[in-house]
Amino acid sequence: MTSGRRVLVTGASSGIGEAVARLAAARGDRVALLARRADELERVRRSLERRDEHVVLTCDLRDEAAVRAALAEAGRAFGALDLVVHSAGIGYRARLDELETRSIDRVLAINVTAVLCVNREALPWLERGDQPVVVHVGSVIARRGIPGQLVYAASKAALASASEALRLEWAPRGIQVCLVHPGVTRTPFFDVQENPHQRPPPDLAHADTPEQVARVILDVDRRPRPEVWLRSRWRWFAIAGLIAPKATDRWLARKLGPPDRQ
């Protein structure tokens, strides 16, 4: 697969999305940067190689009309889309008895509903693309939920199932749908997620960098695979949860520590 692809990245104003945009531009791609914060998107665009070739799309992913308009603008700008990367996502650190319906709805709206809406609006442009690929950014907890992150885990599990369904649905159209599972990543994600009881964030000392995740995403664009884990031990952990769920529960309970920290 050659460079010079036409790429749409959601959540492009920071973290994994920003890293994907940088690496894609560096390999010669044109990038449509989509997020809510216009100033941050402009900062990213100005920092990219050949900055005038890229497009800024300011859009709240919860606004269906705004999503439709943004995708139409990206399509008109590039004529087609070859790669769509869904890196926008939010977390919610809370146990079941602490959950607020408003916050649940917000997580599901951005992590699930928005992905489906973007894909729907991207479809006519992907059908015009060259070897089109869609990459959903999942999570290790999509296949094994953990306490205190049940809403986020549920959203990523839904995305995993949607990825499987869409992979089959779009296969006759020649569109590859891939799911990439990062683990803990060194981004602002944990700083900005809703965390009403201020539980401590995970240890980021050995976390992956956004650039490491972005390199895997762009490698999946070159060599599409249905499901990719950044580290093989997470894949085996997910498999262990299916084969021996009680033993996995016991191990995970020891690993996570006292319930008040979860």
Q: What is the pLDDT of residue 257?
A: 66
More confident residue, 244 or 149: 149
Q: Rounded mean pLDDT of the chain?
A: 91
Q: Tell me what the mean pLDDT of segment 162-189 comes to.
A: 93
Does the annotation count 92 as an active-site position?
A: no
Q: Which residues contact 153 (CB under 8 A, 6 or more apart)?
A: 139, 141, 142, 144, 145, 146
Q: Which residues contact 167 (CB under 8 A, 6 or more apart)?
A: 176, 177, 178, 226
Tell me the average pLDDT across 239-262: 72
Mean pLDDT (whole number) for 235-250: 75
Q: Which amino acid, one-letter code, is at 111? A: N
Mean pLDDT, rounded, for 240-246: 77
User: SS3 for 141?
Assistant: helix
How confident is residue 147, by pLDDT bands cut at 50, 70 and 90?
confident
Alpha-carbon span 93 to 91, nearest angstrom? 7
Distances from the Cα of 175 to the Cα of 3, 135, 178, angstroms: 18, 11, 10
What is the value of pTM for the model shown? 0.91
pLDDT of residue 185: 77
- The answer to whether 116 touches 162, Cβ cutoff 8 Å, is yes
Range from 9-13, 65-69, 143-147, 220-224 carrying the lowest mean pLDDT: 143-147
Q: Which of 41, 51, 123 is nearest to 88 (CA)?
A: 41
Catalytic residue from among 152, 170, 234, 237: 152
Domain ranges for the chain: 6-261
Length of the chain: 262
- The C-alpha atoms of residue 154 and residue 142 are separated, in whole angstroms, by 7
The arrangement of secondary structure in 6-261, i.e. its CATH architecture, is: 3-Layer(aba) Sandwich (3.40)
Taking the mean position of all CA atoms in its chain, how far away is CA 252? 24
H/E run at residue 190: helix 189-192
State the pLDDT at residue 248: 74
Kindly tell me if the per-residue pLDDT of 126 is higher than 60. yes
pLDDT reading at 208 higher than 90: no
SS3 assignment, position 198: coil
Q: In this structure, what DSSP letter does residue 231 have?
A: S
pLDDT per residue as tens digits for the range 51-93 = 999 999 999 999 999 999 999 999 999 999 999 999 999 999 9
Per-residue pLDDT, 197: 85
- The residue type of 172 is P
**pLDDT at position 262 over 60:** no
For residue 260 the two structure tokens come to 């008040």
Q: What is the distance between the alpha carbons of residues 221 and 177, in angstroms, rounded to a whole number?
A: 10
